Each structure stands twice: as structure tokens, then as C-alpha cells.
């Protein structure tokens, strides 16, 4: 790989340079002190050219197999490829002695995620999942309000990712099958479920309604998932590709007050527009986008916490270089996949089911 003025920086190889790699990973890696985007792995000539233009000096490696042969030349692998390849590539990275970041969904089954978690622990290698939505401005605001008791005892958490795409696109994400890791549960659901679990902890039961609303869909493109957390909170998670009008991003009901916020965190739009993080206003939401807290008739705006996608890769750097905890724990990742699997069982059976009881008992022990 190419040399760098910062000899101490960790050399990062990014496997995949579609939208995920080029928009959500490469800019964050490139702007994180202590990390250097040393290589992009892609066999696509157009993506290779774009990677070189976006990141002058980066080396393009034509295949993952070539990367594993040159494993000594990098310090960290980031995997952002089609979903069905996540687990096999993560296993190959670990076998090559490399710590890894894996885009969501981390795997297409909880069993595969458990195996990878156990392998990483046995080898002493950092392995984590990319869950950038934990650092959304609105989510960080909800976290603060819950943590500080501003809402009182939370009884219901409503969370939505809804889009208006009445015609499905041609990609595997929408035209693929469950074995491909396609469908809205693996896509938007991975974020919503992770956020709910991170806020309110393990769940006792899962109820789901999964539908294929648009022509030609092999997997769900509209879903509702209800979680009953052990602590008593109920999470209602809605995701759809056929929402001509969206509901609130979050509505959190407590016995003292409620909090509601519309719209989406602005970091994705800024990354998509080609902006790199690091400016003084990165992650700052304007006042007109703030949520409101209180009861009807007595509402007040709540300043939004600053969104912080860069935190993820700073934490990855510290985990690899200094042995700090990974930013997303693989126990959380496994539990999220168990919820997805339970949601599919629930939709088939038409009733609530319990997710991963054996796994939860193992962690408690």
C-alpha cells in the first residue's frame, strides 16, 4: 500500500465502493485522525476510477482474495458489500488476522453472527458492526431525555423510517430474496431495532406484520414490529417504502411528558451531497428542525444534540490501537438479528414470539 506522512495511522482497506463505501464509510475514514484510507477493494472499473478521484493516492485492489494475500500491509478492514457476503468476508478477514468493521446487517442470521463473535473473541481481534444511526442527532436527543428523566417513566417508544418509492429499484436490495439479505427488515429495520435495544434493553416478545406492497417484490417492503422490553417499555417500529406522507421520526411517551420530532438527521444528506465531516457545524440541526417536549397545550422546543457519525470511526481507531471497547458490541448485534428472525416467525404465525431465549440466558450466565 502507499506510504503516508502519518506513519502511526492505521492503514484501512475498504472492501466495496458502492454508495455505502463511497458515501458512508470512505469520507469518515479519511477524516478520522489516526486512520488512513490505504486501499479500496473493487473489481468494477467505474468504481475504481471514482475511488481514485475521491481519494488521490489510494490503492485499488481488484479482489478480496488479493487483499488477504497482502494482509500484512493493512491494519483494519471495512466490509461494505452486498449483505449476503458480509459474514463470509468477515470470517476471511479474521482468518487473515485482521480486525474488521462490517456494515449492517452484520450477517443474515443470528447463528452466523454468533460464530463470528466467538471467533473474534478467540483470536483477540476487534470486530464490530457499523450502526451509524446511534449517532443521529435526534436519537442522541432521545437518549439524553430518557437518561435525564425528562419524560418520566417511558411507556412507549415509536420510531419510523418511511420513504416514498412506489416503484422498486433494480438492485438486489429490492429485487433480491431473503437469502440475499434483501428486504426492509435487514435494511431500515436493522437501524430501528438496534436503536430500540440500545435505549431500552432486551425484549421479551416480538410481534410483526410484514407485507410486500409493490409489484415484483420477493421480500417485505412494508413492516411494523412491536417489541416488549423486559423493563416494561413497548417499542413500535414502522418502516415502509410506500409512505407518501411520513409520520414523526420519533414519538416517545412518558408518564411525565412526551417528545416528538419530525424529519431525518441531516448527516446522511450532507454526506450524499459530497460534504466531508469535520466542519464547525457538522451534525448541528437548525432550530426549525428541533423536536418538542411536554404535553399538548404546553409544548416547548428541545435543542437537538449534535449528530456525530465521526465518533464511530474514532472509537474503532481506539479499539484497534489501544484496546478500548468497540463502538458496537457484538452481543447487541446478535440480539438485533434474533429480533429480526423473531419478527419473521411472528409474521408467519400471526402472533407474538420470544426471541433468542437461549442466547440471553448464556449472556446472563
Residue listed under C-alpha cell 446522511? 268
More confident residue, 177 or 323: 323
Query: Is 264 a residue whose pLDDT tops 70?
Result: yes
Q: What is the pLDDT of residues 279-309, one digit of tens each?
A: 899 999 999 999 999 999 999 999 999 999 9
Mean pLDDT of the chain: 94
Confidence of residue 3 (pLDDT cuts 50, 70, 90): very low
- The pLDDT of residue 265 is 96
Query: Is 245 a residue whose pLDDT tops 90?
Result: yes
Tell me whether strands 258-261 and 291-295 are parallel, antiparallel or unpaired: antiparallel
Its sign, for the CA torsion 135, 23, 315, 86, is positive
Beta strands in the chain (DSSP E): 10-15, 35-41, 59-61, 76-79, 100-103, 127-130, 154-162, 203-211, 222-229, 234-240, 250-254, 258-261, 291-295, 298-302
- The pLDDT of residue 135 is 98
CATH number of 133-309+339-349: 3.30.360.10
Q: What is the pLDDT of residues 61-90, one digit of tens each?
A: 999 999 999 999 999 999 999 999 999 999
Confidence of residue 136 (pLDDT cuts 50, 70, 90): very high
Write down the pTM of the prediction.
0.93
Q: What is the pLDDT of residues 165-221, one digit of tens each?
A: 999 887 777 777 777 788 999 999 999 999 999 999 999 999 999 999 999 888 999
- Do residues 191 and 131 touch, judged by C-beta distance below 8 A? yes
Q: What is the pLDDT of residues 109-121, one digit of tens each?
A: 999 999 999 999 9
**What are the extents of the domains in the chain?**
10-131+314-327, 133-309+339-349
Contacts of 116 (CB under 8 A, 6+ apart): 87, 90, 91, 94, 106, 107, 127, 330
The CATH classification of domain 10-131+314-327, taken from the options 3.30.1490.20, 3.40.50.12500, 3.40.50.720, 3.30.1360.200: 3.40.50.720
Amino acid at each position: 500500500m502507499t506510504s503516508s506522512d502519518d506513519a502511526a495511522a492505521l492503514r484501512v482497506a475498504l472492501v466495496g465502493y458502492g454508495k455505502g463505501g463511497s458515501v458512508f464509510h470512505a469520507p469518515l475514514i479519511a477524516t478520522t485522525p489516526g486512520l488512513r484510507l490505504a486501499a479500496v477493494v473493487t473489481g468494477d472499473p467505474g468504481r475504481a476510477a471514482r475511488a481514485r478521484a475521491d481519494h488521490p493516492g489510494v490503492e485499488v485492489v481488484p479482489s478480496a482474495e488479493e487483499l488477504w494475500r497482502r494482509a500484512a500491509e493493512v491494519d483494519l478492514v471495512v466490509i461494505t458489500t452486498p449483505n449476503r457476503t458480509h459474514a463470509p468476508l468477515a470470517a476471511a478477514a479474521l482468518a487473515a488476522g485482521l480486525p474488521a468493521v462490517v456494515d449492517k446487517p452484520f450477517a443474515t442470521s443470528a447463528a452466523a453472527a454468533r460464530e463470528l463473535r466467538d471467533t473474534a473473541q478467540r483470536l483477540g481481534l476487534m470486530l464490530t458492526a457499523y450502526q451509524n444511526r446511534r449517532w443521529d442527532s435526534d436519537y442522541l436527543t432521545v437518549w439524553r431525555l430518557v437518561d435525564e428523566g425528562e419524560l418520566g417513566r417511558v411507556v412507549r417508544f415509536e420510531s419510523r423510517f418511511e420513504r416514498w418509492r412506489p416503484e422498486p429499484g433494480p438492485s438486489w436490495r429490492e429485487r433480491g430474496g431473503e437469502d440475499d439479505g434483501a428486504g426492509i427488515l435487514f435494511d431500515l429495520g436493522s437501524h430501528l431495532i438496534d436503536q430500540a435495544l440500545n435505549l431500552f434493553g432486551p425484549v421479551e416478545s416480538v410481534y410483526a406484520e410484514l407485507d410486500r406492497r409493490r409489484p415484483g417484490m420477493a421480500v417485505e417492503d412494508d413492516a411494523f414490529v412491536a417489541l416488549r422490553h423486559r423493563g416494561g417499555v413497548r417499542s413500535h417500529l414502522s418502516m415502509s417504502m410506500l409512505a407518501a406522507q411520513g409520520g414523526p421520526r420519533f414519538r416517545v411517551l412518558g408518564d411525565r411528558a412526551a417528545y416528538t420530532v419530525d424529519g431525518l438527521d441531516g448527516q446522511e444528506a450532507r454526506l450524499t451531497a459530497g460534504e466531508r465531516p469535520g466542519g464547525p457545524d457538522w451534525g448541528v440541526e437548525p432550530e426549525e428542525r428541533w423536536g418538542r417536549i411536554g404535553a399538548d397545550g404546553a409544548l416547548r422546543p428541545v435543542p437537538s444534540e449534535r449528530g456525530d457519525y465521526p465518533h464511530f470511526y474514532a472509537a474503532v481507531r481506539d479499539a484497534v490501537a489501544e484496546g478500548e471497547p468497540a463502538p458496537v458490541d457484538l452481543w447487541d448485534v446478535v440480539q438485533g438479528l434474533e429480533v429480526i428472525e423473531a419478527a419473521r416467525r411472528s409474521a408467519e404465525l400471526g402472533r407474538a414470539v420470544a426471541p433468542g431465549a437461549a442466547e440471553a440466558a448464556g449472556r446472563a450466565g
